[in-house]
Structure 1
Amino acid sequence: MDLRESGENYLEAILVLQQKTGVVHSIDVANYLNVTKPSVSRAMGILKDADYIWVEKGGQLHLTEAGKKIAESIYERHRLLTEYLVHLGVDEQTAASDACRIEHVISEQSFQKIKEHAGGKK
């Protein structure tokens, strides 16, 4: 199943929050993405149905292997593109905002070439 940009953003948010705090609930995702709790609830239902997340009885969110793979890929793109744009002279806030949009539409081939040019591994 192909995810839309918003689904990728939710998966990325769960990954980042798990890395920061270890425990993630819907309210954490809502606060992180600055969206409403009902929006998060709807998105979590869709991601759960697609087998990208699972929800513990107490409401804790977890990525499945498939969800984690997508989240890690998007987050890698976000970090590398942000760093690359900052290196080119873009201010950090603009770079992060632009990277957030670019990370969802850039082809794998273009991303790999940028990664190679930026000194990353193949």
Structure 2
Amino acid sequence: MVMNESNENYLETILVLNHRLGNVRSVDIANEMNFKKPSVSVAMKNLRENGYITVSPEGYIHLTESGLEVAEKIYERHTILSNWLTMLGVDPRVAAEDACKIEHDVSAESFEAIKRHINSSAGKI
């Protein structure tokens, strides 16, 4: 399975909802992402078949080790980029939207350089 922006967003959403709700179901993801439940069900099937999530008999979705690794990477990128843009004076709502676009495309090298710059010039985010 190719990890694309959509899959990364699903995994990140599962991570965030897990922290917020404890247990995550497809309906929670659909509500959070404003998607229809059938679309989420198809995505969850693909993520499950490719080893990024497991689904309990009760319908609770859990990230596997590989799913958690991707989700944490994307969440870190989103958080750091969003905070950085806000520090630069961008409206927080716009910063969050832009960070969501950037987080999937920025190279690891560029992201690490941004992190180093932020940590050296403005303190840790």
TM over 0.5: yes
Q: Who is 2:42 aligned against?
A: 42
**Residue segments in structure 2 that go unaligned for 5+ positions in a row:** none
**How many correspondences in the alignment?**
121
Q: Who is 2:52 aligned against?
A: 52
Q: Who is 2:105 aligned against?
A: 105
Distance in 2, matches of 1:2 and 1:107, equals 16
Compute the TM-score of the two structures, normalised by the length of structure 1: 0.96
Distance in 1, matches of 2:81 and 2:36, equals 27
Q: CA offset at residue 4 of structure 1?
A: 0.9
Superimposed CA distance per residue, residues 36-64 of structure 1 (whole angstroms, 9 cap, x where no aligned partner): 10110000000001100000001000000
Q: Who is 2:63 aligned against?
A: 63
Q: Who is 2:26 aligned against?
A: 26
Distance in 1, matches of 2:93 and 2:111, equals 21
- Amino acid paired to 1:102: I
RMSD: 1.1
Q: Who is 1:3 aligned against?
A: 3
- Mapping 1:89-104, distance limit 5 Å: 89-104=89-104
Q: CA offset at residue 21 of structure 1?
A: 1.2
Superimposed CA distance per residue, residues 1-48 of structure 1 (whole angstroms, 9 cap, x where no aligned partner): 431100000000000000111100000000111111011000000000
Q: Which runs of 4+ in 1 moved over 2 A?
A: none
Distance in 1, matches of 2:42 and 2:21, equals 23
Distance in 2, matches of 1:6 and 1:104, equals 9
Compute the TM-score of the two structures, normalised by the length of structure 2: 0.94
Distance in 1, matches of 2:118 and 2:4, equals 27
Report SS of the residue matched to 2:24. Answer: coil
**Residue segments in structure 1 that go unaligned for 5+ positions in a row:** none
Is structure 2 residue 77 aligned with structure 1 residue 85? Answer: no
